[in-house]
Structure 1
Amino acid sequence: MIERDRPYCQVVDGHRLPGSFSEEVYRSGLRYRPEPGDVVLDTFPKCGTHWVLGILKAAYQVCREVTPGSTFLEKLGLDAIEKCARPRIVFTHLPFQLVPFSDQAKYIYVIRNPKDCCVSFYHHTKTIPAYKFQDGTFDEYFEIFLDGRTDFGSYYESLRSWYSKKDEPNVLFLTYEGMHADVRRSVLKITRFVDAGIADELDRDEDKMRTVLEKSSVGSMKKEFELQFVRKGVVGDWRNYFSPEQSRRLEERFFREVAGTDIPKLWESTDWLLGGRKT
């Protein structure tokens, strides 16, 4: 079913997708069966997909002299996954319950504070003509994000679904802000989770670590990936867009959506929640 309101999207089997995606291809991607050695990288959109992808590719290139294959599950489907070079990284924006899960694969999930996520997703949506939102305003997009009407569904559904699996032995749960606070440590954490040998090599060889950090920097990623998929890569840009009322409303929605969990503790070291934190 195609949604006629803006941004242009469709609902396939109850899940929201960009209107330009193929239903058939999307459904084929759900038939993917992960194999040993596969890495499934899941994020809500604009929460660090290409950053982590850049780290993994750079680490393999520097330490293994190989470039992992990578593909987008929802957009390119099963055929692209099967043709992907090994080692392979399958990235997706699906909530946990829709992701093909196997004990034989490794899963990395990254989430970003919803205020910065909203701002970045707004610019992404406004930039890509297929969304038919070039003249859209931030105020308009804020309401869409708040209500969970963005493509790929609700930010909160994605976060809750993966947070409940964060302690699984083959799941690595990260925050964008935590990565930003200590990039070197995050590179080691990601690589140790995927391949401990790579992490050990980067930890003892500062030149190799420096190369990985450079290859996965925002500047380098803008050259490798399409510009609309890599913007600023900063923390706190929401302050340039959110009104006090919008900030209050999003925080209220956040606490309502994560009630009964300790999810707010993910961001204790940042200040985006100070306006809504209960004391």
Structure 2
Amino acid sequence: MNKQKTYAYIALFIGVLSVSASAVMVKLTTTPPPVTAFYRMFFSVLLMMPFFLLARGSGIKEMTNKDWLYISMAGIFLAFHFILWFESLELTSVASSVVLVTLQPLFAFAGTYLLFGERVTRQAVWSAAIAIIGSLIISWGDLQISGWALAGDLLALTACFMVTAYLLFGQEVRKRHSLILHTTLVYGISAATLLLYCLVFSYSLDPGSGENLMWLLLLAIFPNLLGHSLFNWALKWISTNTISVAILFEPAGAIILAYYVLNEQIMLTQAIGSAVIFAGILIFMAGDMK
């Protein structure tokens, strides 16, 4: 494994730790899910803008029509990923929502094969199948609680598809353009999409109290800039498949934080399902890092 790929794996590890706090921060905000998503992306763009201006929009003139199409699709999919995922957190537990929303290999394997011709090994297929079984165990446990919890699970799975599509479209552009350009444009398009959504459905953009504003800003700093931005940087050297599987480690951190910060209890089905999913991840990573 070359030096750049090693650095990419280190960035991936830091990114996963950063995004683990996302669900708990969302639970601590008081704004509606679409408004929370908008401020997360809006603050991210504001924080990225000085770097974008210092780089003088480096590479933006080299953007092709295909690049603009892909970057726009990535931004739109990211926006709806956040809307659906934040809505799911209103209906189900942090543990179930985060585990299901990070079940990305399900969609990533098919997407990278269809769009980029990346082959999927038998080991990868088996590891994904194991992870799927884990998600079904979690969903079955939530079905026993209430139909609303199951609805939250379904929203989380749809959000999972959306974030995988965001990574797939972003992968193609990221390999040809700088991280600053790629990230600023994707976050900007995502913020604009979320603003339009809030205006169309008449959501108030009032961020609320100062404490709430702090959580919204922290959502931009940690999960986005130290999470998704590092994933985007790593896309130049490692596949969407690898990133989507690594992100499955996120639930461990989120579940622990939810237990201590939100006093959310961990159900037996959630613990068993999470353990099964992590087993699938380890099998995949063992094959990918050879």
TM-score with structure 1 setting the length: 0.26
User: Which is helix-richer, 1 or 2?
Assistant: 2
TM-score with structure 2 setting the length: 0.26
